[in-house]
Amino acid sequence: MDRSWMNESRMSPAYEEGIKEFLQFAFERSRSDEDRKYYCPCINCLNGRRLILDDIPEDLLCDGIKKNYTTWIWHGELIDMSQSEPFDVEMGDRLEDMIRDLG
Ligand SMILES: [Zn+2]
């Protein structure tokens, strides 16, 4: 999904469209028995506060969305493990460094 709108100006139509897309996304993935409150990804709430759907656009327009929140894990999106680096690569590097330091 194209999320370049998250880096657009908050005044731009793309940003406004993006917010709608986000709300739709959150809404579709929520369970119907939930209280219809969603984590707000604005730079003030940082997904730490839950708001009703109607209040989220205001936050996102006034404060802006957390820009590095491109995988919406707090809103039902699964992390794509195939795209992340395997952990042992980094560990291996660190080990190599340690050995070099010792030497
Ligand atoms: Zn907020």
Secondary structure, 3-state, the chain? CCCHHHHCCCCCHHHHHHHHHHHHHHHHHCCCCCCCEEECCECCCCCCCEEEHHHHHHHHHHCCECCCCCCCHHHCCCCCHHHCCCHHHHHHHHHHHHHHHHC
pLDDT in tens, 71-80: 999 999 988 7
43 Cα: distance to centroid of ligand 1 (angstroms): 7
84 Cα: distance to centroid of ligand 1 (angstroms): 28
pLDDT in tens, 19-61: 999 999 999 998 777 688 999 999 999 999 999 999 999 999 9
85 Cα: distance to centroid of ligand 1 (angstroms): 31
Which pTM value belongs to this model?
Answer: 0.73
The domain of 17 spans 4-102
pLDDT above 90: residue 8:
yes
1 Cα: distance to centroid of ligand 1 (angstroms): 22
Number of domains in the chain: 1
